[in-house]
Amino acid sequence: MISRFILLLLVYSNCTFSITSQAGQDILEGVLENPRIIPQTKIEGAVITITDDSQVTMKIECDSLVIVDANQNRSTPTILRGNVQAIFYDENQKPVSVLRSDRAEYIENYSLIAKNNIMVYNLETRDSLFFINESSEIEWNDFVEKIQSNDQFFFKNEDGCTTGSSFQSNVDLTDMKISNPRGSNECE
């Protein structure tokens, strides 16, 4: 009942007052799609640092971070928007690769699911992975410490380009398992 009242209030206020900021429009669209989801916390220029035994394993940066529910539990994702960048570190605290996307969902101690305009880049070898469709997703899983996707991609390295329908690899794009691989010496 309260959700419907809030929804009606928001729709009424949208008709009465124009929302000028893109952030306000995004919030309203989210509420209209699912009236039970109302952002409780928004942090601009957020950085999440992930450690394992006091060693940094990953840093995630983004333009804004939204915690959807103030009573959020460990299975509720934190929403990351705008210029999402996950930097992966090796055991010597040296950055080894970067994952970039337009947005992502992070679940503490479990996963990061990056969405839209994804690119993964190995900082040492300069190998890179891109997706064919702009709306693709890639998941980093904390338990297996791998990145994986079931979306079509192309992988560029010094030998040329490889395309595939899905993959799983280490965060530095090594030990890669590719489904339906097709390769060429030249990249288009």
pLDDT at 188: 59
Q: Are 168 and 150 in contact (CB under 8 A)?
A: no
- Tell me the fold of 39-184: lipopolysaccharide transport protein A fold (2.60.450)
Q: How many CA atoms lie within 13 A of 13 on its CB side?
A: 13
Q: What is the pTM of this model?
A: 0.74
Q: Where are the domains of the chain?
A: 1-38, 39-184
Other Cβ atoms closer than 10 A to 67: 15
Low-confidence ranges of the chain (pLDDT < 50): 1-21, 28, 32, 35
